[in-house]
Structure 1
Amino acid sequence: MFNAARGAARGTIGTLGLKGESLLRIPLKDLPEQYTLAQLQQLWETDNIEDLESLLILDSCLAIPDRLVSQVGDAEITKDLSLRVANIILPDGSIILQDDAPDEHNTTSRDKAIIHVRRKANLGIPLLNTLLLGLPSSRPSSLPEPILLTLISFSSPSPYAPWTSPSLSCVASDILAKYTIQTLTLPFLSAHLLTTIIRPLFSVSKPETITSSGRKAMTPSAPQRTGTENLQRSRKPWKYEAVYSIAVFAWVVDNIPASLISQTWHLFTPPVLTLLDDPSTPIRIQGSQILSRFLPHMSATLLSQSGLGELFEDALTPTLLFLPNLTPLEESLELLPAAYNALMVLCDVRFPEPKQDVSTSTNLTVRHAEEAKAEVPDVKKERLAFLDRVMRNGIVTSYSYAQEHPSIISILLRQLGIILPKLGIHAVKHIRDILPIVTLILTNPFSPSQTPLLLSAILALRAIVLNAWPRLLTQDMYRLEVLKSLCMCWQNVLRDDGDMERKEEKIEEVKKEMRVVGEMMIKAGEAAGVGIRVEVERLVEGVPEVGGLFGM
């Protein structure tokens, strides 16, 4: 019955080759004049039938509702067709973008597999929309779980999910939105997705640092791994077979009601730690991003009692040193922001800041950070110790290894602007380590040609002044170093003869931020009882062009 249609479908697919991902519908002349859903169901009954051909025929036929003859039992057939389509388009291990492909899969075959999967999806997702919502027999009150699994796999566009696209995501999300009464329930989220789908996929490769109940293991019960396990496909079905598993897990994290977290948190931790433990850059990034979104659902008490707070910190910290030249620069630029963001979220959840921060620098006169630290409660001390570790093991250590890479330094400087306000006055203990990072950039005569790096340095300096001013302004060595660096940078910016368009759009922003820092220095100096205004006035007398820097 569909021989002509199958021949036309085969010709359409063969003509495209690897040129495109969307397929044109079969011409009307090659389709039967009439057909039923039962007859369309038979498209897959013949052996050695190509799924893509059958999907194209089904799509072309359903696009002409006038030729579709209704029959008793169409609702059940529609359900069967929907299940078949959902199973066909669910991505499999033929596409492995998260890691280096095994030897038997070269780049060409993988590219072909990706195009093939996308073509099936471009037909399958709209077909599911038609079968479930567009036919007279459509709109069932609930959907089979395999269909929901496929829709979830396609519902979030991501560079790490090459099988979907923004348009497919929109269609899948629209269908899911009509079944939230089914999807956002404990039986579906916990019993089905987390327990039946996710848990078995991640159970073999979970780190020994965690127990089967999702808590911190007191001592690893299994022998130390040698590293070769990461290369075994059988140990990571979530990575090499069910490639959609991370997308599904992320969807659960994003959609599970907060009221269900207390009953299911132990099901989340093994997959998260497995992702953070994987050597693949894209997977580590996804692990950090998922953890950042999951942590706000947890409490400080739970993180402490289960030992997960320490585990998450230990899992994230090594990523801070994924730096060139051991790690490709492009990968480092993606990894570092994701890891730092996850650590900052962990800090705020694990050690919530007190309502009244007695260490805020604006409420202090000049005093040592150690004196202020003695006044704060234990949670605050633990929070400060955590931030100190991130500063030492992350920012300072990373700079010593990657200072020849401006793009990495820009990331570290931006993180300074986030961490220093959390430290408050206690940032003073790090001045000796972080101030040279900033002043070296400010005094570099070529910095105006690297405006993103220069702007990051100025914003970092503003954070240093704002939070560490009691010591920064009262220590002659630090104060004079900052003034000298600001003046040299200001002169370099004024003398820069770079592209005029760049100067108008970027340099003006740099100058604006420098003026803010200059005026902050004067106000902070006056608050600290330092005669900095006199020093600046003398400086302006000798070098009049720096007057604009300090509002003089």
Structure 2
Amino acid sequence: MDTNNSHTRDAMDTEDILSVLSTQSTAPESASTSTLRNQAHALISRSTDESVLPATLLDLLTQVIKPLFTNTKHPSLTSTGRKNLVPNSPSFGPSYPTLSDHYETSKPWKTTGFTVPLLRYILDSYSALPSTSRKQTLESHFHLLVPPILNMIDDTDPSYKATGCRLLHTLGEVLVSVQSDMLKRTGLGDVFVHALKGNLTLLPTLTPEDESLSVLRELYPAYIALVDAMFCYSSSPSKLTSAESKARDDLLTSLYRHGIMASLEHLSSATSFSSTISVSLTVFLLRQVPPVIERMGISSVRHLKGLLPMVRAGLMDPFILVAPEMVSAVLDVVECVISVCTPRVKEKWYPEILRGLVGCWCNCIDENEGSGTTSASKYLPETMTRLTKVVKMLGDIVDETEWKDVTRRLVDEEPDLKELFEQDEQDS
């Protein structure tokens, strides 16, 4: 595997990066690139003391990384890596390869085998710095880190898009760890948001499923990490000003509506998740709902009107049992909603959730009473156990008398539901 496009998240330590720099690329390498490779190796080899690590990282960024990206100008950045205040042409979605993209002479960073590993090494190294100098060092290097990451995200090659998102994710985590407000102070948070949003539409059938997954699996975590980093200078979201809280909520809402929900609607029919053109992508997108809902907090109740009927319909669809990972993802969403939006669920939405859980349970019973040889049948015990736990969780937040009355009537109508509510009855 080309180390430039490796998807591993393991930390890149000194021994690893020196090994990469000692290994010649399989692709033809220009003399200037070889010089940069040797220069990087020499700089890291000499950096045996953590006291000189900040200077080494700066030298790597200015003497090795920057020359590799010199010819790759990003319209949203100035030549010094700051936000370009001159308005750019509007974006009409992700960029796609053109004939000129096959000629990479202007992008030497794509023909080396060490660009990405070296950037990973640099980003990972900030965590190794003494806490007293970590924040200052990172902030002084920040404008040098932005251009390579942003250019990768906006590259036409899906593997580099994914890599850029992964590097942004790491940068966001480092910024959070030192509670730096650099993204706010420089205005570059919005630039990154714009770049990520431009790739949310990389979906089948225009984009092959494997390429879509490779990018989106990195993009969504990167977006979340970016939002966290944009407001990490406050120790808690509750301590943000009203304007900051609204800005944060707007970013999360945009990801939820224009990313997750729009993509789910694109992939699936209006009736159920199970009629999707990509099970893997649908499951992945469903798993992105809880992190967003959790960060929105109670303000996410405004999305329940659109979310819960869709969740209920998905759970009631018997065909969803063929994809147990999808059932699990939907139940993750339900648990998150119950936990985060407890007052509103108790007041209004618990019947909708209960309908879905009951419908799914009945479908499990029917499947169990069938031939028992389908691919879904072996996962039924696990699914049914999970359903009882979620029902118990739901029952715990509803008025006890009301819950007993509802469940009693349901069991009277359908005796097979007794086992679904048994755990709840035992604990009451």
- Amino acid of the residue matched to residue 544 of structure 1? P
Q: For the residues of structure 2 that align with 1:316 and 1:213, how far apart are their CA atoms?
A: 21
Deviation at 1:393, TM superposition (A): 1.1
Select which of 267, 292, 306 maps to 2:144.
267
How far apart are 1:227 and its partner, in Å?
Answer: 7.4
Letter in 1 for 2:24: L
For residues 141-172 of structure 1, the C-alpha deviation after alignment (integer angstroms, 9 at most, x for no partner) is xxx985574599xxxxxxxxxxxxxxxxxxxx
Cα distance per residue 1:112-156 (max 9 Å; x no partner): xxxxxxxxxxxxxxxxxxxxxxxxxxxxxxxx985574599xxxx
Task: Identify if the C-alpha distance between structure 1 residues 188 and 308 changes in structure 2 by more than 3 Å, giving closer, same or farther.
Answer: same
Provide the residue aligned with 1:297 in structure 2: 174
Counterparts of residues 332-481 of structure 1 (less than 5 Å): 332-352=212-232, 377-403=242-268, 404=276, 405-475=278-348, 478-481=349-352
Matches within 5 A, 1:188-199: 188-191=56-59, 193-199=60-66
Equivalent pair of 1:86/1:147 in contact (CA under 8 Å): no
Please say if residues 20 and 117 of structure 2, whose CA atoms lie closer than 8 Å, have aligned partners that are also in contact.
Answer: no
Correspondence for 2:32 = none
1:180 aligns with 2:65: no
For residues 271-307 of structure 1, give each alpha carbon's deviation from its aligned partner in whole angstroms, at most 9, with x where no partner exists.
0000000121111111111111112333452111201
Q: Is residue 385 of structure 2 the alignment partner of residue 512 of structure 1?
A: yes
Supply the distance in 1 between the matched residues of 2:297 and 2:394 (Cα, whole angstroms): 17
Question: How has the CA–CA distance of structure 1 residues 234 and 145 changed in structure 2, closer, same or farther, with 3 Å as cutoff?
Answer: closer
Cα distance in structure 2, aligned partners of 1:355 and 1:523: 31
Q: Is the 8 A contact 1:410 1:456 kept in 2?
A: yes
Task: Verify the 8 A CA contact 1:351 1:382 in the aligned structure 2.
Answer: no
- Partners of 1:332 and 1:205 lie apart in 2 by 24
Task: Give the match for residue 411 of structure 2.
Answer: 540
Which has more radius of gyration? Answer: 1
Structure 2 alignment gaps of length 5 or more: 1-18, 30-34, 269-275
Taking the TM superposition and a 5 Å limit, the aligned residue runs for 1:85-124 are 89-91=23-25, 93-94=27-28
Equivalence map 1:5-404=2 (5 Å): 89-91=23-25, 93-94=27-28, 146-147=37-38, 149=40, 180-181=48-49, 185-191=53-59, 193-220=60-87, 230-239=101-110, 241-256=111-126, 257=129, 258-259=134-135, 260-298=137-175, 299-352=179-232, 377-403=242-268, 404=276
Aligned residue for 2:11? none
For 2:153, give the aligned amino acid: L
**Cα pair distance change 1:525/1:356, threshold 3 Å:** farther
| Aligned match of 1:16 | none
What one-letter code is carried by the residue in structure 1 that aligns with 2:402?
A: G
1:223 & 1:344 partners in 2: Cα distance?
24
CA RMSD of superposed structures (Å): 3.4
Q: Aligned partners of 1:412, 1:489: CA distance in 2, in Å? A: 20
Q: 1:246 to 1:87 in 2, by over 3 A?
A: closer
Which one is further off, 478-487 or 454-463? 478-487
Distance in 1, matches of 2:306 and 2:49, equals: 54
- The 2-side partners of 1:147 and 1:543 are apart by 74
Distance in 2 of aligned mates of 1:219 and 1:187: 32
Instruction: State the alpha-carbon separation in 2 of the partners of residues 487 and 291 from structure 1.
Output: 42
Deviation at 1:250, TM superposition (A): 1.8
In 2, Cα distance between equivalents of 1:268 and 1:245: 12
- 1:215-264 per-residue CA deviation (whole Å, 9 max, x = no partner) reads 2111158999997564442221111x324212212221112333521221
Q: Higher RCO, 1 or 2 (CA under 8 Å, sep at least 6)?
A: 2
1:367-393 CA distance string (max 9 Å, x none): xxxxxxxx9733222221211111111
Secondary structure at 2:185 match in 1 = helix
Cα pair 2:82 2:186 within 8 Å, conserved: yes
| TM-score between both structures, scaled by the size of structure 1 | 0.61
Instruction: Tell me which amino acid in the other structure corresponds to 1:444.
Output: D
**Structure 1 position 499, deviation (Å):** 4.5
What TM-score do the two structures reach when normalised by structure 2?
0.78
Aligned to 2:355: 484
